[in-house]
Structure 1
Amino acid sequence: MSVEGVGTSPRWMSVVLALAAAYNVVWGAAAVLIPALFFTAAGMEPPEYLWLWQCVGMIVGVYGVGYGCAAMDPARHWPIVLVGLMGKVFGPIGFAQALWMGEITMLFGVNIIFNDLIWWVPFGLILMHAWRVRRAAGGAS
């Protein structure tokens, strides 16, 4: 097994991923333990099937565990960052569709800012770094 990414990532990348890990675990736990909170804070009636929202919380929390692992070596664990960034792009698309259809309030979009948008640039930079590291190592995995 090659370890071309070990020790090659700037410290800020590990810090960003550790922060993303903590944020996702806390947000996910809140969605599981007090699922109506996000809806009432946005001036919405909680949905009938809150257990679905709790499932979203579990998924977000699991992403947090992945980001924590990736923080140990961002260049090596770039697939976790890629999957995370994909979710952070698709989340706002889903929000925009729900907003367009009148199923959600604009205030609910505060979640999108902190869950998704603020992570686009750092995750993108981490992925660019990982690509450069892999390219310099001859693309081996």
Structure 2
Amino acid sequence: MDSQILKIHQQLVDKEITCTALVQDKLAQLKQNTHNTVNAMLDTMALDLAAKVDAKIANGETIGLLEGIPFGIKDVYMVQGTLTTASSNLLKNYKAAYTATAIQNLLNAGAIPLVKENCDSFGHGSSSENTIFGAVKNAINPI
């Protein structure tokens, strides 16, 4: 099985792509939000982190396997200073006071968060229909 993480990592190391270009491309796709999957964009954070990865590569520094790899965060995980709604009216204006350990570990490894993702309220459910942001649409059958 081919790993997308390994493929992107190698493209970054070989300077076939820049991290900034990769992140800009993914953010552009996510801004379309055609399947109602995105609760919040993390553009500024993502682009700042991408620039740091590009600087490391330009300086000839080694980057870790997850460094520069974009990812999305379910909106039940906190990222300090960002809205963390858990897709619920109860928390619709809540700004996270800290970053969840799992997310902090990814950030420490250099991974780049792009968005907060829609989910069932408080993550209770499996179909992402019970959310203040509206149901997530099936990518294969979006009706």
TM-score of the two chains, using structure 2 as the length reference: 0.31
From the CA coordinates, give the structure whose radius of gyration is larger. Answer: 1
Q: Name which structure has the greater RCO, CA cutoff 8 Å, separation 6+.
A: 1
TM-score of the two chains, using structure 1 as the length reference: 0.32
Higher percent of residues as helix: 1
Higher percent of residues as strand: 2
